[in-house]
Amino acid sequence: MITRAIVSPEPRRSRSSTSSKARSTSNTTFLRWQGTVEGHKIESLELLTDDENGLLLERTIAYRPFPALKIFRDRLFALNAGRVPDDMWDYPKATET
């Protein structure tokens, strides 16, 4: 969706932080979401990795199908204007050599 990860200097508390306290085998939570964007089906698969205190260390998301993702991304770009730096939404233009 964006060209690089948004990195925070401090771990964030995951909404599923209590999940990490209830299990003893893994610090990874898997989430699946299905919905629509402008009438087109879209799905995401998400991995949340937290530490022993339930603080979120890493969030990885995969979306499909690509045409719906493009619509979703374009809508997010418009909604986040000025809040997320423009250079995070696209690669820099290639320079000819």
7 within domain boundaries: no
Q: 4 in a domain, yes or no? A: no
C-alpha–C-alpha distance, residues 33 and 37, integer Å: 13
Number of domains in the chain: 1
Task: List the CATH number of the domain containing 61.
Answer: 3.10.450
The amino acid at 69:
L
What DSSP line would sit under 25-65, residue for residue?
A: S-SEEEEEEEEEETTEEEEEEEEEEE-TTSEEEEEEEEEE-
Q: Max Cα separation, the chain? A: 56
- The predicted-structure confidence for 28-79, as pLDDT tens digits, reads as follows 899 999 999 999 999 999 999 998 888 999 999 999 999 999 999 999 999 9
Residue 18: inside a domain, yes or no?
yes
CA torsion, points 57, 16, 46, 12, in degrees to nearest 10? Answer: -30
What pTM did the predictor assign?
0.62
